[in-house]
Amino acid sequence: MHLGECPALLMSFGAEGPAKIPLSMLIVFVSAKLMAEIFERLNQPGIVGEILAGVLIGPSVLGWLAPNELLTALSDLGAMFLLFRVGLEVKSSELLKVGGTATIVACCGVVVPFVMGWGILILWGAPSNEAIFVGASMVATSVGITAQVLAAKGLLHAVSSKIILAAAVIDDVLGLLVLAVVSSLTHGTLNFLQLGLTAFLAVAFTLIVAKWGTHTMKRVTPHVEQKLRVGEAQFAMAMSLLFALSLLAVYTGVAAIVGAFLAGLALAESTGQRVGDLAHGVTELLVPFFLAGIGLHVDLTAFSSGSTALLAVIILVAAVISKFIGCGLGALSLGRTEALRIGVGMIPRGEVGMVVAQIGLGFGIIQHNIYGVVVFMSVATTIVAPPLIKLAYKKLLESGQAETPEEVFRLG
Amino acid sequence: MHLGECPALLMSFGAEGPAKIPLSMLIVFVSAKLMAEIFERLNQPGIVGEILAGVLIGPSVLGWLAPNELLTALSDLGAMFLLFRVGLEVKSSELLKVGGTATIVACCGVVVPFVMGWGILILWGAPSNEAIFVGASMVATSVGITAQVLAAKGLLHAVSSKIILAAAVIDDVLGLLVLAVVSSLTHGTLNFLQLGLTAFLAVAFTLIVAKWGTHTMKRVTPHVEQKLRVGEAQFAMAMSLLFALSLLAVYTGVAAIVGAFLAGLALAESTGQRVGDLAHGVTELLVPFFLAGIGLHVDLTAFSSGSTALLAVIILVAAVISKFIGCGLGALSLGRTEALRIGVGMIPRGEVGMVVAQIGLGFGIIQHNIYGVVVFMSVATTIVAPPLIKLAYKKLLESGQAETPEEVFRLG
């Protein structure tokens, strides 16, 4: 995804050649951490600062960097390690226990945003296919943002957190199906056999790993430590599983980060603290690239026309409200507080919405300015959500029941 | 550096698209660790297995992967983190103490290989300019390989280890100057002013950071921990310094890894164990990409002619012997055992020789088959050296005076 060329200024600093890697790392990492620091001092979530750092250094504002292969790779790896690290903190049995509620949450959270997005575009006068694609791009939650907020605040042990994680995984499978249906529909054909196969593969992969992964790794891990002679054998095994399941996830159609999350889940009850600690180092390094990478995609030039800007605001409000209502209603059986938390926790769309819009753009179904609207909605929901999540969990945070981040990601 | 296209087999597995990152990570990481395990079981250094894994999966043998932007970036980052991690274990005052000996070692280790490489090519009947470039490509030690062996075996505290590290840094500055001279010479002009400026910048940067870096960071680090609100503030500061000094190193003309090493040195006496632990996680993940990345560059098809293969063997032998003799002689004042250790420790050429040869290739001065010879020499020296280093340090390893890797890279 190249939104623009690197400006001449940066080229002269060595954007190609041996300076490229340290320069990119320095700009992204330092700007993300600086903005996080500023936001923490303003009593705002640091994560929002890191995303906005991406907007700031990106093509829209300073133009220091544009998304390129290196930054995209680091961003993707950052998301994978983030979800892996979160998976390590969660027991799969507890996720499976809340599976029923999570499925309802996920389904409601797919239907309501789709209908709202589609409806708004139709009222706006957009062609039917474009409306369908925009609806589809509003469907899938990006679990990375919420997971990072919950992990950083020590809230992963709450029931609502587990429902959010499980619902986000199911959501990803549903999003895959919606995209498949939508892509077929707009091409006029709907192959039910292939659709059924896609659904089966994705569901089977996720369920099998969630259900038997932990058990399998409990039997495998002790042997790894005893039998292997390479240093840090458990970490080597964990990384191999992480990459293998991420790859399998992609092959079965779900996102790589779902595979990474499942790898963490599978290892949660068998590997020692040391694996978590080493993975935490990688996560700390790469998460700023994931967060700033989201912001880097914003292209404010798409809003040169006032009507597009208005549409962007409407779509953003609809994206927030629709997920909040859909997921909140789905979780209402747990009481209003929990429903509220789950509702806000599912708001961020992040990279998932962008991918759908990009496919629509590639098909020539989505106009360039509407693509900009979807990207804006995707990024803005990740910025709006963290303060809302903090607010929704305020009582729990103030009660002292939250673990400190040091307790969650402590060194052994 | 693209040695070849990804074969069709791999493309069909998704070498582009969302599978690319997990697939590349999985292939490189797992093959490196598997080969390391096999080599450890054969009582050989695991590091050699990891380099050979790169040869195996590379264009020469299985053809699963070729060097590409992602792998090169991960490999470069791996080398940077490796040297950073090693720098964290070393006191700059101790390095400066051995500076005199290290300078003699580095100088002898530059002159002898250059003369031998140049002489062999002249006897071989190569044009004078080509001979000069091959000589230059044999000059610079790749400290990464030796550092990894010494760190993994717990030998970083030995005097000879410190001389090797210091000499390798000086060596890098000398290599830069040799390359500058050689590039100018072959173009017929030698700008002494520019050369002097290059030398001054590189030496000044290295000396200033080595001499005052530790002191500065001792004053800065406590404030960082107290004043900053972002999580893992010390780690964030360490990473910022790592990328900043790597970038400055590139701007002043030395390698990024020298800057990374200097960053580690500067932080060695001020940051807590936690920074080392988190950085260790990143190192454990990325070092296999650095090692396999070296092997990935081997292109055995360059040796289709018997005479080129013979030259490759002669150059390899010369590369090993010349560094061993040059550096060994330079360190003879420390006694034969230490001289032997330093002699073998300086043998690996790694990526540095390849870069010089590539520049020669770009100028049209080095023929393609001679480029293959230099790459072969660069990789083969990294494979030959680890067993020799193990042998040279045998007495120390058996005496139990070596720290275990767990002691060196322990978690607090």
Q: Is the pLDDT of residue A309 over 70?
A: yes
Tell me if chain A has a CB within 8 Å of the CB of B124.
no
SS3 of chain A: helix, strand, coil, percent, to 5: 80, 0, 20
Please give the C-alpha separations between residue A84 and each of A143, A368, B59, B136, in angstroms, as whole numbers.
12, 34, 32, 45
Q: Please indicate if any CB of chain B lies within 8 Å of the CB of A77.
A: yes
Q: By three-state DSSP, how is residue A13 classified?
A: coil
Q: How far apart are CA A248 and CA A254, in angstroms?
A: 9
The confidence score (pLDDT) of residue A401 equals 67
* Tokens linked to B112: 């002898």
Q: By mean pLDDT, which of A40-44, A102-106, A309-313, B232-236 is the weakest?
A: A40-44
Helix (H, G, I), strand (E, B) or coil at A22: helix
Taking alpha carbons only, the member of B179, B168, B169, B180 closest to residue B203 is B169
In the DSSP assignment, the letter for residue A409 is T
- pLDDT for residue A224: 85
Residues 300-319 of A with CB under 8 A from B: none
Instruction: Give the pLDDT confidence score for residue A5 in this predicted structure.
Output: 41
Mean pLDDT in residue range A344-371: 86
Asked if B36 reaches chain A (Cβ–Cβ under 8 Å), the answer is yes
Closest Cα in chain B, distance from residue A210 (Å): 20
d(CA B73, CA B76): 5
Q: Does B195 touch chain A (CB under 8 A)?
A: no
Closest Cα in chain B, distance from residue A309 (Å) = 31
State whether B46 and A251 contact (CB < 8 Å): no
For chain A positions 144-163, those within 8 Å of chain B (CB to CB) are 152
Tokens of A318: 């609809």
Contact status of B41 with chain A (Cβ, < 8 Å): yes
Q: 10-residue block means of pLDDT along chain B (412 residues)?
A: 41 64 95 95 88 92 89 92 90 89 94 96 93 92 86 88 92 84 76 84 90 90 85 93 95 88 92 90 95 87 83 95 93 92 91 82 87 91 91 84 55 36
> Is A73 in contact with B77 (Cβ distance < 8 A)?
no
- pLDDT exceeds cutoff 90 at A102: yes
Identify the residue with better confidence: B32 or A404: B32
Average pLDDT, stretch A137-161? Answer: 88
**Maximum mean pLDDT: which of A37-51, A261-275, A313-327:** A313-327
B18 touches A: beta carbon within 8 Å: yes
Using DSSP's 3-state secondary structure scheme, residue B192 falls into helix
Find the CB nearest B250 among A19, A46, A259.
A19
pTM: 0.88
State residue A2's pLDDT score.
Answer: 38
Q: Give the distance from residue B251's alpha carbon to the nearest chain A alpha carbon, in angstroms.
A: 7
Q: Give yes or no for A41 touching B (CB within 8 A).
A: yes
Q: Give the pLDDT mean for A381-399.
A: 89
CA distance A242 to chain B (A): 9
CA-based nearest residue in chain A for residue B227: A37
User: Across all residues in chain A, what is the average pLDDT?
Assistant: 87
The alpha-carbon gap from B4 to the nearest alpha carbon of chain A, in Å, equals 19
Q: Would you call A334 an interface residue with chain B, using a CB distance cutoff of 8 Å? A: no
Higher pLDDT residue, A155 or A1?
A: A155
B33 and A256 in contact by Cβ < 8 A?
A: no
Residues A164-179: pLDDT tens digits? Answer: 999 988 888 888 888 8
Q: Which of A22, A33, A69 sits opposite B250 (nearest CB)?
A: A22
> What residues of chain B lie within 8 A of the CB of A73, using their CB?
21, 70, 73
Which residues on B lie below 8 Å from A277 (Cβ)? 277-278, 281, 411
Q: Chain A contact for B40, CB < 8 A?
A: yes
pLDDT per residue as tens digits for the range A363-388: 888 988 899 999 899 989 999 999 99
Query: Residue A46: which of B29, B80, B230 has the nearest Cβ?
Result: B230
Percent of chain A at pLDDT exceeding 90:
49
Task: Please say whether the beta carbons of A384 and A347 come within 8 A.
Answer: yes
Task: Give pLDDT, residue B117.
Answer: 95
- To probe the interface with B, which of A33, A179, A351, A352 has the most B CB atoms within 10 Å? A33
Q: Does B246 touch chain A (CB under 8 A)?
A: yes
Amino acid B210 reads: A
Query: Region A118-137: what's the mean pLDDT?
Result: 93
Residue B45: its pLDDT value, please? Answer: 85
Q: Would the pLDDT of A404 be above 70?
A: no
Q: Which residue has the higher pLDDT, A47 or B408?
A: A47
Banded model confidence at residue A8, pLDDT cuts 50, 70, 90? very low
Q: Do B30 and A255 touch (CB under 8 A)?
A: no
CB B167 within 8 A of CB B345: no
Q: Which residue has the tokens 């226990």?
A: A97
- Calculate how close chain A gets to B170, using CA atoms only, in Å: 19
Q: Which residue has the tokens 């050369």?
A: B195
How does DSSP assign A261-295, residue by residue? HHHHHHHTTTS-HHHHHHHHHHHHHHHHHHHHHHH
Q: Residue A3: pLDDT above 50?
A: no
Q: What ipTM, to 2 d.p.?
A: 0.86
- In terms of Cβ atoms closer than 10 Å to its own Cβ (0-12, 13-18, 19+), residue A267 is buried
Interface contact B70, partner A, CB < 8 A:
yes
Burial of A394 (0-12, 13-18, 19+ CB in 10 A): exposed
pLDDT at residue B15, as a whole number: 55
Higher pLDDT, B399 or A106: A106
B42 touches chain A (CB under 8 A): no
Q: Which of B18, B236, B285 sits opposite A239 (nearest CB)?
A: B285
C-alpha to C-alpha distance for A176 and B320, rounded to whole angstroms: 56
Q: Which of A14, A230, A256 sits opposite B37 (nearest CB)?
A: A230
The predicted pLDDT at position B401 comes to 67
Residues 6 or more apart whose CB falls under 8 angstroms from that of B60 comprise B298, B299, B300, B301
Contact B256 A284 (CB under 8 A): no
Whether B37 and A229 lie within 8 Å, measured CB to CB:
yes
In this predicted model, which residue has the larger pLDDT, A350 or B261? B261
Nearest-CB residue to A231 (from B152, B228, B251): B152
CA distance A395 to A398: 5
Q: What's the average model confidence in pLDDT over A200-206?
A: 89
DSSP one-letter code for B157: T
Question: In this predicted structure, which of A228-232, A234-238, A310-314, B384-388 has the lowest mean pLDDT?
Answer: A228-232
pLDDT of residue A32: 96
